[in-house]
């Protein structure tokens, strides 16, 4: 090789776990910055972009950050000064990395919104010699506003590279047996820890506008498949599907989680567990929206016992699942 040739790293494979994202702090400006990036994504909000930017900047980004900041303050990990989503994504990355005993594979993480960005991490992995990248969006059920927007950003990042790595993307894993077993084990663990018998388990998934489903998004079908597989393997307690976190006046996927939690006690089901199978890590949607707000609504409506089954987070079952997903794309 010519002695003047620049040193080039090569021969490695990179694994990039990608989660939704999180504000850097509970401060108003950090929350606003995060919301602006998230709500400016055309796949997340499919309305006239000119009209939406007016609504977003004049109204939503003026008033919503305070409400969102309050929610984050309820669940913020003060000892670590970060959100649970960031903490668990970091732990997933560290534990998954230890599963691969080779220097030729690098495991890292990025956030679709906020930091560290997908663009920065892909560039960094390429500079470390990763000629192959395995992209693992931490969304078990594919949806356009989640998985697809990760793909969009990955491809935009590749456009900036002179030497592009090969890309493989884990697009969904809603029926992976290790995923289903991991959730079943988490249900059994929670039941062993409580001193009451649940009348019902509510599987609450993040919602999407119904028009996205009508236009061909498969997300609803994937969620229903996950619940069906859970019920087939754990049929001692009924499991029902609901959808949470709706935003704006349009119709979203139903039944709505919040409305369901208000109605269940009237049906005589006063003892329930809630699980959120679509979230890879506990976050503001699970810990504040469900464990705090949801529980309050349920108890106020006449419920007696309510508990949230934690997300898979960084438990061993989850790390083994992530390794299984990555192994399928490694060159043997």
Domain co-membership, 296 together with 322: no
Percent of the chain with pLDDT over 70: 98
Instruction: Please report whether residue 4 resides in a domain.
Output: no
C-beta of residue 110 within 8 angstroms of C-beta of residue 116: yes
Task: Classify strands 105-113 and 12-21 as parallel, antiparallel or unpaired.
Answer: parallel
Instruction: Please report whether residue 5 resides in a domain.
Output: no
* Average pLDDT for 152-166: 96
Residue 76 CA to residue 271 CA, distance in Å, equals: 28
Res 8: pLDDT: 75
Whole-number average pLDDT of the chain: 96
Domain co-membership, 233 together with 280: yes
**Sheet bearing 105-113, strands edge to edge:** 105-113, 12-21, 130-137, 166-169
The position carrying tokens 């400016």 is 40
Stated pTM of the model: 0.95
Contacts of 91 (CB under 8 A, 6+ apart): 313, 314
DSSP of 250-275? S-BSSSBHHHHHHHGGGGT--EEEEE
Contacts of 159 (CB under 8 A, 6+ apart): none
293-318 tens-digit pLDDT: 999 999 999 999 999 999 999 999 99
Domain co-membership, 125 together with 269: no
Domain co-membership, 59 together with 155: yes
Q: How far is CA 114 from CA 32, 109, 279, in A?
A: 11, 12, 18
Res 101: pLDDT: 83
Res 116: pLDDT: 98
182-211 tens-digit pLDDT: 999 999 999 999 999 999 999 999 999 999
Instruction: Please report whether residue 136 resides in a domain.
Output: yes
What range does the domain containing 296 cover?
Answer: 177-309
The DSSP secondary-structure symbol of 82 reads B
Instruction: Please report whether residue 332 resides in a domain.
Output: no
Domain co-membership, 25 together with 148: yes
Residue 285 CA to residue 179 CA, distance in Å, equals: 20
Has residue 1 got a pLDDT over 70?
Answer: no
Domain co-membership, 145 together with 23: yes
Instruction: Please report whether residue 2 resides in a domain.
Output: no
Contacts of 173 (CB under 8 A, 6+ apart): 140, 179, 321, 325
Here the tokens at position 62 are: 């003026």
Domain co-membership, 19 together with 161: yes
101-114 tens-digit pLDDT: 889 999 999 999 99
Res 332: pLDDT: 62
Here the tokens at position 212 are: 């996205």
Query: What number of helices (H) and strands (E) belong to the chain?
Result: 13, 8
Domain co-membership, 162 together with 18: yes
Res 175: pLDDT: 98
Q: How far is CA 115 from CA 109, 172, 175, 317, in A?
A: 10, 23, 30, 27
Instruction: Please report whether residue 34 resides in a domain.
Output: yes
Instruction: Please report whether residue 3 resides in a domain.
Output: no
Has residue 277 got a pLDDT over 90?
Answer: yes
Has residue 91 got a pLDDT over 90?
Answer: yes
Has residue 166 got a pLDDT over 90?
Answer: yes
C-beta of residue 280 within 8 angstroms of C-beta of residue 170: no
119-134 tens-digit pLDDT: 999 999 999 999 999 9
3-30 tens-digit pLDDT: 666 677 889 999 999 999 999 999 999 9
Percent of the chain with pLDDT over 90: 95
Res 276: pLDDT: 98
Residue 150 CA to residue 260 CA, distance in Å, equals: 31
Using alpha carbons only, how large is the chain's radius of gyration in Å?
A: 21
Number of domains within the chain: 2
Res 9: pLDDT: 83
Q: Which residues is 272 bridged to in the sheet? A: 200, 306
C-beta of residue 118 within 8 angstroms of C-beta of residue 25: no
204-254 tens-digit pLDDT: 999 999 999 999 999 999 999 999 999 999 999 999 999 999 988 899 999
């Amino acid at each position: 090789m010519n002695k003047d040739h620049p040193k080039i790293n090569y021969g490695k494979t990179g694994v990039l776990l990608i989660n939704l994202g999180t504000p850097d702090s509970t401060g108003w400006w950090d929350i606003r910055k995060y919301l602006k990036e998230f709500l400016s994504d055309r796949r997340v909000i499919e309305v006239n972009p000119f009209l939406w930017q007016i609504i977003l900047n004049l109204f939503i980004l003026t008033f919503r950050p305070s409400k969102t900041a309050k929610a984050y303050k309820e669940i913020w990990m003060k000892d670590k000064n970060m959100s649970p989503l960031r903490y668990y994504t970091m732990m997933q990355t560290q534990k998954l990395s230890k599963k691969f005993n080779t220097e030729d594979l690098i495991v890292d993480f990025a956030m679709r919104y906020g930091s560290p960005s997908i663009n920065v991490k892909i560039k960094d992995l390429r500079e470390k010699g990763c000629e192959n990248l395995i992209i693992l969006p931490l969304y078990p059920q594919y949806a356009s506003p989640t998985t697809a927007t990760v793909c969009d950003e990955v491809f935009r990042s590749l456009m900036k590279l002179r030497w592009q790595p090969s890309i493989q993307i884990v697009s969904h894993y809603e029926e992976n047996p290790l995923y289903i077993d991991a959730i079943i084990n988490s249900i059994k663990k929670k039941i062993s820890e409580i001193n009451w018998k649940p009348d019902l388990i509510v599987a609450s998934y993040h919602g999407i506008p119904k028009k996205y489903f009508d236009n061909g998004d498969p997300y609803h079908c994937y969620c229903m498949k996950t619940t069906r597989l859970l019920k087939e393997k754990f049929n001692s307690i009924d499991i029902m599907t609901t959808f949470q976190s709706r935003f704006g006046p349009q119709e979203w996927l139903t039944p709505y989680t919040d409305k369901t939690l208000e109605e269940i006690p009237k049906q005589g089901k006063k003892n329930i567990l809630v699980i959120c199978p679509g979230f890879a890590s506990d976050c503001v949607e699970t810990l504040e929206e469900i464990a705090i707000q949801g529980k309050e609504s349920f108890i106020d409506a006449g419920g007696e016992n309510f508990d949230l089954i934690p997300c898979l987070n960084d438990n061993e079952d989850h790390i083994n699942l992530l390794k299984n997903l990555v192994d399928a794309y490694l060159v043997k």
